[in-house]
Structure 1
Amino acid sequence: MNVVYDKRKQTNDIVSVVKLMSLLFSGMIFFNFIADFYKLTVDNSNYIIIMNVFIVPVFVLALIYALWAFSTTKKVPEKYIALIQLAENFLFILIFFGIVLITEAEKSDYKFLFLFIIITATIQSGMKQGMNIAFFSSAIILTIALVYGPSSGENLYFEKDLILAGVFILTAWTIGFYVKTEDEHIRKLESMVNQDGLTEVYNHRFFYDVLREKLISYEKDNKSISLVFIDIDHFKNYNDLYGHQKGDEVLKIIGSLLKNNVREGDVVARYGGDEFTIILPDTSEQNAIRIAENIRIKIEDTYFDGEENQPKKKLTASIGISVFPDKAKNEVELIKCADDALYRAKFFNKNRVEAYYSILDDLKEDIEDEHIDRITSIKTLISVINAKDRYTYGHVERVVVYSKLLTDKLKLSEKDKKKLIYGAYMHDIGKMNIPEEILNKKMPLTKEEWEILKQHPAYGVEIIKPVESLIELSPLILHHHERYDGKGYPGDLKGENIPYLARVLTVVDSFDAMTSNRPYSNRKTHEEAIEELRKCSGTQFDPFIAKAFIEVIEENKNNIKY
């Protein structure tokens, strides 16, 4: 895009120089006409007076034009450029028309001046504009020849001007054709540089260029930009079954589908591999979700060869959305948040649209300004944990959902509701300090590994300790693995000695652990997990809380997404 701007600027600079020189030529011709009219010579004192009266203003006007032409290239809005160029061309035609008239009209030797404006207009605006100027200029000189030429007999001036008119038109056509060819060549080069060769949508580099440019512009205008990330579900499985050629065909179809289902001005790009992205300028989250959902349905409804052998018998896509400036304050945050939302969509059953959301963004409203950066750091740590242990990400999200449902059943105060939800989000943050091979081990842990894993509640408390506003979450994080019968860890606390909200979190955390696939165990059904809660009520779990949670699960079994 900068290359196009640079080329346009260089062209405008050259054209401005040509116009400036033609303006100076016109001034000199006009001065000579005045001098001849008054029969002035260099020795005549009036010659100097006439020079000052006519030449100096011409040079001043030329200087003003030069300053204006070279200083406003970037400042003038795009929509006004064509209008300004048209007005300029018309002004120069009037000047040249006046010069021809005062220099003996049909006998004038200065009709060639029209070539200046024909050439510059064609270079600047293309063949159509150049041809229009050429025809208009030809009409002027031929009309002058007819009006001022001999009324009877052979009109030699008209015949000569016919040849000149032909030169005008041929010049405009030749230069216009060259400009058209060059523009087509530039567009082809641009497409090669900016487009993904396989899918014919924009490429990764162009995506970043446009996003940066849009963010700078929209930040000034206080407008929203939505970013959509799209990932094909189980694409590796498709490639493994049918080979990369078939996979490439799928990518081409989806690239075409995306281009045909966005608005004018939206930017579709291939982010990499089987991942696409769409920049939606001036678009709210709600409208972005609507557009993304339409795309998801289009992909689901499109038949892809061999999709019946995909895990869900269909080839589908997961979609994540983030919005600037509501959910992200800069380019890096916007991309990261959209990617997080995409991961949520893929983790929770795929073939769905997810808008970015983080509990920690709400938490920022409840803490002191000096701790905002620390919250951002904790958010980053949780992202690191997600990368180390993909189970933790989905687990935390579901525990937050269950906790929200349970807060109303237990009639918690607003303060305790927030503490439980924030605690649910951060209860496993201490896993940051647990080796990845332990977190993802598929075999049962050894005694030594189990002792290491049991340290994560204490590690979590250490991580949040610097943030004064989070200190009240420490009991939830530290004691969410205590048991009601006193056989838990790390404090061997029993019954009512376990903080109330920690007992609540224990029930929710355990239920999700039972109903999720873990590296070392198979998931239970909801019914099996509920039976386990009843069985362990009074030993592992607070019986009142376990009973309330069972009621919540049974009441919401048709509404819980996860």
Structure 2
Amino acid sequence: MSNFEFDKHKRIYEILSIVKLAALLFSGVAFFRSYFDNRFVLSNTKSFYTSLFCIILVLLLSLVYIVWTFPTDKKNILKDDKYIQFAEGFIFTVIFFTAILISGGYESSYKFLFLFIIITSTIQSGMKQGIIIACISSVIILAIDILGVHSGEVNSYFENDLILVGVFILTAWPLGFYVKIEGEHIEELKRLVNEDGLTGLYNHRFFYEVLNKKILSCEVERKPVSMILMDIDYFKYYNDLYGHQKGDEVLKSIGLILKSSVRKTDIVARYGGEEFAIVLTNTIEEDAIKIAENIRSKIEETYFEGEENQPNGKITVSIGVSVYPDKAKNDVELIKSADDALYRAKFFNKNRVETYTSILDELKKDIEESDIDLVTSIKTLISVINAKDRYTYGHVERVVAYGRILADKLGLSNDDKKKLIYGAYMHDIGKINISKEVLNKKMPLTNEEWELLKQHPQNGVAIIKPVKSLRDISSLILHHHERYDGKGYPGNLKGEEIPFLARVLTVVDSFDAMTSNRPYNKRKTYEEAIEELKKCSGTQFDPSITNSFIEVITKEEYKILR
């Protein structure tokens, strides 16, 4: 329940509580009146104590009701429970019935008391409950009229009581109908607020709200929460070719496929323009992967108008999967890890499902147990750098991905491949000592700032030095800014003096730097960056490594990177 909803329920509950308390006080007046009424035989000890008991009972009930009602913390919302409402209605009905009996029976002027419980029950529980209470109250009133009159006696109150019975029914019915309409209107407003207008799925705002609740709930129940993040491949290309109306039709169709592919308890949302997110409660990673793969294949097999002109000949999706608590500690990490997996799926040829895997999790398998805490600290430092420099996070992930591709092309051993990947992940860790203002500066750096920036390789080596298992990647971090012609930094190493894996890292690092938007540099196109690699081959880059990278990156399956 949102704060707005709670505040609304709280206010209504307070008003209804005051009405019910007033009804109790009115019934107390009836008891007092009957107690002091001359028609009530006070000389009779039994009658005296009966009356006294009723008065004390009403006073106690009023006191209990005050204590029960007016503390208005969230726990009192529990009083909306139907069983509590039923018990409350029953008690009030008994009290009012008793008050009418002892204040004159069919002659009593307190028959109106039933209106209080009819009104409050209708507002609180709806038309059905209100009409039931109205009918019960009507039966009680008419029964008192019929049974309370001696044989042959004319009840002059019966006609007025018939009118009163009509008032009971007419109060419950229209009021209940109004409450029903208002409830439907509120639900429709909630739907409009929570739903995406185009696809009918939940929207981005609701997704974040419900994900947080699901995480908290499953944390208590110790159950997993899986998340699927999905992006339509080449959707901008489709929109540019056929227009946004046709693109909207694709979004609607995919929305229907998603709805039909998950359980009713799962949450499907339109996360962004062409992105969708699914929250799967109590679902392990293996099951989430099966669901994601089923969705991917359904979309691939579905015909969309004009899809034959897409770069891959079909409308397809890339999907990332992650799971809480195995791969993430909270909702923010779950989204981030699923987004990482989605990025990997789009990077490696699209139209595929990828699960989140952390490079540091891989690293932990290869390091000594005593170094795990240090590696965890390094991960924290990298997170800090990512927060300072918006470019670094995406850059690191892309350099790692390029590194994997080039490692396969070069036929590196598993050990060298791991060193390259770990080095690519940590190559900019030395930037932790550089201020955010320098990292994100749009104007050219001053000489002092440039000298400070050039120190990040040495700083990076100093950071990982305590971790014995990472010493093998020190050379990659230290020399990834060396140039093949010897004009790089920090060691001015030349040619094969530069460690081989550092030369590999230099190529992929520079390629991504050229094709990424930087605060101080406009990104080059894919083709322009390849030309720059060719131009600088033999001066900045190792010619053999450069040629291998150009060969692999220009293959058909990697045109997705353009």
- Superposed, which structure 2 residues align to 1:326-475 within 5 Å? 326-363=326-363, 366=369, 367-369=371-373, 372-378=376-382, 384-385=391-392, 387-388=394-395, 391-398=398-405, 406-407=413-414, 421=418, 424-427=421-424, 429-430=426-427, 462-475=459-472
How big is the shift at 1:151?
4.4
> Could you say which residue in structure 2 is the equivalent of 1:321?
321
The question of 1:32 aligning with 2:29 is answered no
Q: Per-residue deviation at 1:136?
A: 2.0
- Please give the secondary structure, in 1, of the residue aligned with 2:265: coil
Preserved CA contact (<8 Å) 1:131 1:173: yes
Match of 2:107 in 1: 107
Change in 2 beyond 3 A, CA 1:116/1:511: same
For the 8 Å contact 2:142–2:158, the answer to whether it is kept is: yes
Q: 1:243 Cα deviation (Å)?
A: 0.6
Shift of 1:401: 8.6
**TM superposition shift of 1:121:** 0.7
Read off the aligned partner of 2:273 and give its amino acid letter: G
Q: In 2, distance between residues paired with 1:49 and 1:102?
A: 13
**2:147 and 2:41 mapped to 1: Cα distance?**
27
- SS of 1:247's equivalent in the other structure is helix
Unpaired segments ≥5 residues, structure 2: 432-449, 513-525, 534-543, 549-562
Counterparts of 1:502-517 in structure 2, within 5 Å, are none
The amino acid across from 1:395 in the alignment is: Y
State the AA in 1 paired with 2:418: I
Q: Among all aligned residue pairs of Structure 1 and Structure 2, give the percentage whose two residues are the same amino acid.
A: 48
Q: CA deviation at 1:368?
A: 4.7
**Aligned residue in 2 for 1:267:** 267
Q: In the superposition, relative to structure 1, how do residues 256 and 305 fare at CA in structure 2: closer, same or farther (>3 Å)?
A: same
3-state secondary structure, aligned to 1:283: coil
Offset of residue 86 of structure 1 = 1.5
Instruction: Quote the offset at 1:284 in angstroms.
Output: 2.4
Q: How many Å apart are 1:118 and its aligned residue?
A: 0.8
For residue 75 of structure 2, what is the aligned residue in structure 1? 75
> Gaps spanning 5+ residues in structure 1: where?
42-47, 408-416, 435-451, 524-535, 542-562
Describe the superposition over 1:143-178 as per-residue Cα deviations: whole angstroms up to 9, x where unpaired: 332322354576554443332221111101111111
Residue 476 (structure 1) aligned with residue 453 (structure 2): no
Q: Does the 8 Å contact 1:198/1:252 carry over to 2? A: yes
Deviation at 1:234, TM superposition (A): 0.7
TM-score (norm 1): 0.73
Q: Deviations over 1:173-208 (max 9, x none)?
A: 111111122222222322332222222222222222
Letter in 1 for 2:267: V
Q: Which residue of 2 aligns with 1:237?
A: 237
Q: 1:353 to 1:428 in 2, by over 3 A?
A: closer
Partner SS for 1:229: strand
Match of 2:137 in 1: 137
CA distance in 1, matches of 2:256, 2:458: 50
Per-residue CA deviation, residues 458-502 of structure 1 (Å, 9 max, x unaligned), is 9556425323453542333516999xxx999976798xx99xxx8
Instruction: Give the CA deviation at 1:335.
Output: 1.7
CA shift, 1:354, in A, is 1.7
- Answer whether contact 1:368 1:469 (CA < 8 A) is retained: no
Q: Could you say if the C-alpha distance between residues 257 and 137 of structure 1 is closer, same or farther in structure 2, counting changes exceeding 3 Å? A: farther
- Following superposition, the deviation at residue 210 of structure 1 comes to 2.3
Q: Which residue of 1 aligns with 2:10?
A: 9
User: CA 1:32/1:429 → structure 2, altered by over 3 Å: closer, same or farther?
Assistant: same
Tell me whether 91-100 or 389-398 shows the greater mean CA deviation.
389-398
What displacement does 1:358 show? 0.5
User: Structure 2: how far apart are the matches of 1:334 and 1:403?
Assistant: 34
Residue 520 (structure 1) aligned to one of 517, 530, 539: 530
Q: State the one-letter code of the partner of 1:11.
A: I
Q: TM-score, normalised by structure 2?
A: 0.73
Kindly state the Cα deviation for residue 400 of structure 1 after the two structures are TM-superposed: 8.3
- 1:520 deviates by 1.6
| 1:44 counterpart residue number | none
**Deviation readout 1:204-256 (Å, 9 max, x if unpaired):** 22222223333344434443322221111110011011011111222222223
What residue number does 1:184 align with?
184
In 1, Cα distance between the equivalents of 2:78 and 2:296? 35
Structure 2 distance, partners of 1:300, 1:339, is 21
What code does the residue aligned with 1:474 have? R
Bigger shift: 389-398 or 223-232? 389-398
Letter of the structure 1 residue corresponding to residue 16 of structure 2: V
